[in-house]
Amino acid sequence: MSARPGFYRQELNKTVWEVPERYQNLTPVGSGAYGSVCSAYDVVLRQKVAVKKLSRPFQSLIHSRRSYRELRLLKHMKHENVIGLLDVFTPAASLEDFNELYLVTNLMGADLNNIVKFQRLSDEHVQFLIYQLLRGLKYIHSAGLIHRDLKPSNVAVNEDCELRVSASLEQESCGVEPLSHPQHVHPQILDFGLARQTDDEMTGYVATRWYRAPEIMLNWMHYNQNVDMWSVGCIMGELLKGKVLFPGTDYIDQLKRIMEVVGTPTPELLQKICSEHVRGERGRRERSVEFPGFNADLCSQAQKYIQSLPFMPQQDLEKIFKDANPSAVDLLKRMLVLDCDGRISASEALSHPYFSQYHDPDDEPEAPPYDQTLESKDRTLEEWKGQSSQPRHPAAMTGLTFLTRPWWCFHRVGVRGGDELQSVGEHDGQPSGGAVRPPPGDGVPTL
């Protein structure tokens, strides 16, 4: 079966990609549980972009809901320190064939994980990078969202970096140029595959272990936005030391390393953060699907392990970071707090003296509230894909209903603040397939 008009097919790492002809030179850069990413050259925008192919977006109701959520989250983000959506497309020519979904975003040159491996950063660089990270995080949190997977590889910067990643995700080579003046470096927060609203009950199996807040490991259901602030503290500590702050080898070892630095929790705190686990076998099954590797029993094991530990006092961070700016260490103390309710928030951290030369309350915007009602509804797979048993007015369309009209012939042109929706034919002479300007709606909203 040939590719549809205006598209071409290419197999990369045993995965078939079918993308519009405007995206040339597809090159794999990474993959994970939720999809694969390629870099590409956009002949319309004349720039490199990142194209993400979602992994089995409609395999199940959970996959469908997650795909829809990631799409809406990317659409919602309009901030220079948070990744945003340039384009969304599918090679499907009909709703019945709609089984693939691709998202296009800006391609950043390198991430903090690559940079910290190859060079030590000055205090001025750390200041500006963490300030920009917190600036983006304040925006995310103001929308009522939690990122849940902050780590150096999810914080990209706009420096030249040739990164080649093998199929096993191990780095093969990376030529990282020294960072320029800090104010020429603009990081962006990436990957919203695990982001969600601040619900009362949430899943604990999130985030890479080394950057995971202790309350997530100890309490699978209840936490707040300050889990991200723990992750920022881990990232900041890594930038200052040049190595991972809590490199646990497994779940239990991770907790031990954290306690060795911040001290063992009091019985009152342990009771507070270990108040509830996954409820029932159904909850266990759902979470094991949404987060592969999830094991609720680890939470109970972790509690028993901590209770068996001898008392460990909190270490003096000035000794651990003896060469660091004292103001930086003071901020770390406020981030790496075991009790999440006592942890500094992103908004509060921005006004810390460590960022005095950058802090500008008028240039630290907040986001409009994120409405999760659409994605929290119960729908069938067909409804998630956009098919509805009853006709709807275009303004009331929900789900991925852009395929009930020829949206697939449209591509978003990434100019922040003034994005236009135009057909392929308007740009590069490719067939537009009789596309018409789509109606406004809640499915795949106009950027």
Binding residues: 53
Contacts 24+ apart (CB under 8 A), 348-353: 349/134, 349/229, 349/232, 350/131, 350/134, 350/135, 350/138, 352/327, 353/327
- Cα–Cα dist 126/134, whole Å: 12
Kind of pairing between the strands at 420-423 and 410-413: antiparallel
Nearest 5 degrees, angle CA 375-CA 377-CA 378? Answer: 120
What sections of 182-341 are H helices per DSSP? 214-218, 226-241, 251-262, 267-273, 280-290, 297-308, 317-320, 326-335
For 334, other C-beta atoms within 10 Å of its C-beta total: 16
Asked if residue 140 lies in contact with residue 147, where contact means CB atoms within 8 angstroms, the answer is yes
From the list 107, 242, 218, the residue with the least C-alpha distance to 162 is 107
From the list 342, 354, 345, the residue with the least C-alpha distance to 137 is 345
List Cβ neighbours of 141 (8 Å cut-off, separation of 6 or more): 225, 228, 345, 346, 347
From the list 31, 96, 50, the residue with the least C-alpha distance to 382 is 96
Binding site for ATP, by residue number, is 53
132 is written with which tokens? 């920009």
- Cα–Cα dist 76/270, whole Å: 36
List Cβ neighbours of 181 (8 Å cut-off, separation of 6 or more): none
Annotated catalytic residue 191: yes
From the candidates 191, 199, 200, 363, which is the catalytic residue?
A: 191
Cite the active site residues. Answer: 191
